[in-house]
């Protein structure tokens, strides 16, 4: 794994500087894959994309911004005063829900990205062995979010069909899940199809690790 430069961004609203790490190269050695498409790869860390500015609260995606500067480790430039700069942090569940009501979510692709993060943030609780819902509101939010994602995501490519199948399974809609899974024709999905089918037969709605 080879780290890339630290990328410096400026909040488009207030100008506050935000630093995000980058990666020159990595690999998927030791990676774990889950039914909701999440990959946990120690040699391929992911860096935040959606940011809530710690200074003014504005939400924006870093991939929609140009870095204002790049800092290289072992470089003289690293005299830079990093104390004035916020480190990019991935928003937690509460902030993600808040972001849905903001300007950043008006673009369909952004709304999908935020809702996918909400979905996986709930699933993370299950991945970590905790209960997914702390209260009834959580449950309503999770289900509603899955339903909206199903309405927003078009099954243009196979991997979108897998996402839709998983969302339907999470809602307990096993017949729809199986229909979507069985519409995948490419052989490379055979192992995944088997595991999704077994989960549906067992009436399992929670995220699971793919073998």
Distance of closest approach, residue 14 Cβ to Zn ion, in angstroms = 3
CB-wise, 33 or 58, nearer to Zn ion? 58
Q: Locate tokens 């774990």: which residue?
A: 32
Q: Is 31 in the site for Zn ion (CB under 5 A)?
A: no
Nearest Cα neighbor of 11 from 70, 69, 71, 54 is 54
Q: Is 178 in the site for Zn ion (CB under 5 A)?
A: no
Q: Which residue in 56, 68, 198, 210 binds Zn ion (CB under 5 A)?
A: 56
Q: Which residue in 3, 8, 13, 61 binds Zn ion (CB under 5 A)?
A: 13
Q: Is 65 in the site for Zn ion (CB under 5 A)?
A: no
Distance of closest approach, residue 72 Cβ to Zn ion, in angstroms = 25
Tell me which long-range contacts 199-202 makes (C-beta under 8 A, separation of at least 24).
199/35, 199/169, 200/169, 200/174
CB-wise, 110 or 168, nearer to Zn ion? 110
Q: Is 17 in the site for Zn ion (CB under 5 A)?
A: no
Q: Which residue in 53, 104, 118, 180 binds Zn ion (CB under 5 A)?
A: 53
Q: Is 176 in the site for Zn ion (CB under 5 A)?
A: no
Q: Is 51 in the site for Zn ion (CB under 5 A)?
A: no
User: Which spans in the chain are helix H?
Assistant: 93-99, 108-127, 136-152, 158-170, 174-182, 190-201
User: How open is the CA angle 20-24-27, to the nearest 5 degrees?
Assistant: 110
Q: Give the interface size with Zn ion as a residue count (CB under 5 A).
A: 8
CB-wise, 9 or 208, nearer to Zn ion? 9
Q: Are 181 and 168 in contact (CB under 8 A)?
A: no
Q: Is 58 in the site for Zn ion (CB under 5 A)?
A: yes
Nearest Cα neighbor of 206 from 134, 136, 122, 147 is 122
* DSSP at 29: T
- Contacting residues toward Zn ion, per CB under 5 A: 11, 13-14, 16, 53, 55-56, 58
């Amino acid at each position: 794994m080879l780290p890339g430069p630290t990328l410096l961004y400026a909040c488009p609203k207030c100008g506050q500087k935000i630093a995000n790490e980058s990666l020159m190269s990595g690999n998927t050695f030791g990676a774990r894959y889950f039914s909701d498409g999440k990959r946990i790869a120690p040699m391929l860390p992911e860096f935040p994309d959606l940011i809530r500015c710690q200074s003014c609260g504005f939400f924006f995606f870093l991939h929609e911004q140009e870095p204002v500067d790049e800092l290289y480790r072992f470089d003289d430039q690293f005299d830079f005063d990093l104390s004035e700069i916020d480190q990019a942090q991935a928003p937690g569940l509460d902030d993600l829900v808040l972001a849905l009501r903001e300007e950043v979510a008006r673009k369909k692709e952004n709304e999908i990205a935020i809702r996918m993060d909400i979905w996986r943030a709930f699933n993370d609780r299950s991945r970590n062995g905790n209960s997914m819902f702390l209260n009834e509101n959580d449950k309503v939010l999770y289900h509603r979010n899955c339903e909206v994602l199903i309405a927003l995501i078009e099954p243009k490519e196979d991997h979108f069909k897998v996402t839709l199948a998983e969302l339907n399974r999470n809602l307990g809609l096993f017949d729809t899940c199986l229909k979507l899974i069985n519409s995948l024709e490419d052989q490379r999905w055979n192992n995944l199809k088997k595991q999704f089918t077994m989960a549906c037969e067992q009436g399992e709605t929670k995220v699971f690790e793919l073998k």
